[in-house]
Amino acid sequence: MEALIESNGAATPRSAARPDAFELKGVMTSLAVLRLFSLDLSLMERQLRIKIAHLPQFFQDAPVVLDLGALALGGAEVTFRPLIRLLRECHLIPVAITNASEAGRANAVAEGLGVMPYRATRNASRAAVTQPRGEGAPQQAPGEITRVVRAPSRTAPADDSRTPVRTIAVEDMPTPAPTPVAAPPPRAVPVPQGARPAMVVRQPVRSGQVIYAQQSDLIVLGPVNPGGEVIADGNVHLYGVARGRVIAGAQGYPEAQIFCQRLEAELVGVAGAFMMSEDIPSKRRGKPARISSVDGACRIEDL
Amino acid sequence: MSKVVVVASGKGGVGKTTTSANIAAGLAQKGHKTVAIDFDVGLRNLDLVLGCERRVVYDFVNVIKGEAKLNVALIRDKRIENLYVLPASQTRDKDALEPEGVGRVLEDLKGMGFEYIICDSPAGIEKGAQMAMYFADEAIVVANPEVSSVRDADRVLGLLSAKTNRAEVGKTIKSHLLLTRYSPAMVKKGEMLSVSDVLELLGIPLLGVIPESKAVLQSSNKGTPAIMDDTTDVAQAYLDVVYRFLGEEREQRFIDEEKKGIFRRLFG
């Protein structure tokens, strides 16, 4: 896992010393995932057009990833060309597939689509067919457990509908907010089980910086200053003063907690429950604290 | 060995240009060949504060664009030996600053034997400010003892640790805090953040505290850096800063309220 701290990249000055032809960067982005349950193109078109009519700007020229995991043969039966044509007519740009079988992958690559690893969080009723465990299967770290829970979260931003491409920290990233969902309503949330090592940040998190520990805990040794933001899908441990925004369980993991040595945060959030600075009881301010989510509300206790 | 030093703050009006002028003048007075570069393209000020506005023929942008030679554009200070100014363009905008050109000019200045290259950053965190900090080896972050200024300084420190040439190759930029317009009397009344409040939040070493003083305004109107009249407290404070910057130990002054004797209390 890697912690990049950078801001809105467009205006970044580049080094004068090396006139590189390009720069390869890992960036965090959100992608819409279109999870296919049927290959009935006319049905798909009708439903897609309804979806898009709701949020036309959101879908205009949006890159989408096709999740083939719910199809019986993992995409081996898909004829991609008409499917791609249909999506492009709907102003969607299919860029990659995920959760495909070997044959499905080969078909997709032949049509110019990329292959993305994606930890599937499938819902049992839909995913009647088990995912082939070959190379095309979603990549899981050894011993990593994916538990399926019904999302209790109001925030769960990146469940079925969107998948982060890579763990990152981005500046000026908006706080995760509910996003339009292209897939059907039942949601599954991956639960961090400590299989991924925690992200450790040694420098102070300064105003304007956002650190996001995807699918893991986050440990910050220095302070989180006002205007700074730390987010983890798991727990957040803060050894310096917490003055900025602190969010644990960003994808709705209900057991997530915030542990901090000195609570002076602008905002704390755990698994979809939030508390603003002014709502933090004054007797808790400036003291060590443990914050959890109980019945959809933040609870602050002594550390 | 040349050092590129950016003077930055994020917030405007906190004293970046005053600080750039005084530190550059102070370093030059101590015998170090120093150039101050104005990165505030479109809002040229440094030449005024250093009193050389009438001698500006070519500017930084002319040099970057290859329209003028560097040694022609550089203005040599008539009062202080070793002090040079590279003024900003008043007629262009900040898009004229591009990294290749800026990097090339800085390299040329190093080649000319400048020991200190002081980059006076414009306010904000846009292109001009990014270019001023991009090639820096060290940073002097200027803040007033006031919440919004401190937050902006914090933001700038974040950018210094992420969006600079040194950061890109995994090195850090040594950053110093300079607290300007400080008024111990107001701190005592709780109307101003104290030095320790600011230090606790920003967590970088304190280069010095410059007291609030009329001398700053007067010297900038006259075009004579305050440090040249060493009878004022501002000059003393900037001299301390220059010594500390050069690695000497100097006790911090101007942090606590001056104890007034009975006469000064009656007549002062």
> Could you list the mean pLDDT of each consecutive 10-residue stretch along chain B, which spans 268 residues?
95 96 97 97 94 94 95 96 95 90 97 98 95 97 96 96 93 96 92 94 96 93 93 95 96 82 58
Q: Give the count of Cβ contacts less than 8 A between chain A and B.
A: 70
| CA triple A84-A85-A88, angle to 5 deg | 85
What's the gap in Å between the CA of B99 and the closest CA on chain A? 5
Residue with tokens 């001698």: B55
CA-nearest of B223, B228, B248 to B238 is B228
What is chain B's Cα-based Rg?
Answer: 18
- Interface mutation target, options B110, B159, B193, chain A, most CBs of A under 10 Å: B159
pLDDT of residue A68: 85
Measured between beta carbons, which residues in chain B are less than 8 angstroms from residue A222? 203
Residue of B nearest to A208 (CA): B155
Residue of B nearest to A169 (CA): B162
Mean pLDDT for A138-167 is 34
pLDDT of residue A257: 97
Q: Is A222 near chain B, with CB under 8 Å?
A: yes
Q: What is the dihedral of CA B145, B148, B152, B155, to 10 degrees?
A: 110
Least confident of A22-26, A261-265, B126-130: A22-26
The C-alpha atoms of residue B13 and residue B217 are separated, in whole angstroms, by: 12
The C-alpha atoms of residue B132 and residue B65 are separated, in whole angstroms, by: 17
- Interface mutation target, options B148, B155, B164, B177, chain A, most CBs of A under 10 Å: B155
Number of helical H runs and strand E runs in chain B: 13, 8
Give B145-190 as a DSSP string.
Answer: SSHHHHHHHHHHHHHHTTSSHHHHTT---EEEEEEEEE-HHHHHTT
Q: Is A8 near chain B, with CB under 8 Å?
A: no
Sheet with B34-38: strands ordered across: B75-76, B83-86, B34-38, B116-120, B3-8, B138-143, B174-182, B206-211
Token couple for B177: 């805090």
The C-alpha atoms of residue B22 and residue A257 are separated, in whole angstroms, by: 50
Q: Are the C-beta atoms of B115 and B33 separated by less than 8 Å?
A: yes
If you average pLDDT over every residue of chain A, what do you get? 73
The answer to whether the Cβ–Cβ distance between A16 and B102 falls below 8 Å is yes
pTM: 0.65
What's the gap in Å between the CA of B233 and the closest CA on chain A? 33
Q: Is A209 near chain B, with CB under 8 Å?
A: yes
The C-alpha atoms of residue B168 and residue A5 are separated, in whole angstroms, by: 10
pLDDT tens string A77-110: 788 888 898 888 888 889 988 888 888 888 888 8
Sheet with A199-201: strands ordered across: A199-201, A218-220, A236-242, A258-263, A289-294, A297-301
Single-letter residue type at B16: K
Q: Is A262 near chain B, with CB under 8 Å?
A: no
The answer to whether the Cβ–Cβ distance between A207 and B162 falls below 8 Å is no
What's the gap in Å between the CA of B252 and the closest CA on chain A? 25
CB atoms within 10 A of CB A55: 13
pLDDT of residue A80: 87
- Interface mutation target, options A12, A171, A206, chain B, most CBs of B under 10 Å: A206
Count Cβ neighbours within 10 Å for each residue of A242-278 and write b for 16 or more, e otherwise.
Answer: bbbbbbbbbbbbbebbbbbebbbbbbbbbbbbbbeee
pLDDT tens string A184-230: 444 455 554 545 789 999 999 999 999 999 999 999 999 999 999 99
Mean pLDDT for A155-182 is 38
Residue of A nearest to B155 (CA): A207
The answer to whether the Cβ–Cβ distance between A223 and B161 falls below 8 Å is no
What is chain A's Cα-based Rg?
Answer: 21
A40 has a pLDDT exceeding 80: yes
CA-nearest of B146, B172, B129, B34 to A5 is B172
Measured between beta carbons, which residues in chain A are less than 8 angstroms from residue B131? 13
Q: Is A10 near chain B, with CB under 8 Å?
A: no
The answer to whether the Cβ–Cβ distance between B158 and A5 falls below 8 Å is yes
pLDDT of residue A146: 30
What's the gap in Å between the CA of B208 and the closest CA on chain A? 22
pLDDT band at A18 (very low <50, low <70, confident <90, very high): low
CA-nearest of A199, A216, A194 to A145 is A194
Q: Is A3 near chain B, with CB under 8 Å?
A: no
The answer to whether the Cβ–Cβ distance between A204 and B203 falls below 8 Å is yes
The C-alpha atoms of residue A31 and residue B82 are separated, in whole angstroms, by: 57
Measured between beta carbons, which residues in chain A are less than 8 angstroms from residue B203? 204, 222-223
The answer to whether the Cβ–Cβ distance between B99 and A14 falls below 8 Å is yes
Measured between beta carbons, which residues in chain A are less than 8 angstroms from residue B159? 7, 208
Mean pLDDT for A274-289 is 94
Residue with tokens 């606590």: B256
More confident residue, A249 or A168: A249
CA distance from start to end of chain B: 48
Measured between beta carbons, which residues in chain A are less than 8 angstroms from residue B127? 11, 13
Measured between beta carbons, which residues in chain B are less than 8 angstroms from residue A264? none
A168 has a pLDDT exceeding 60: no
The answer to whether the Cβ–Cβ distance between B163 and A6 falls below 8 Å is yes
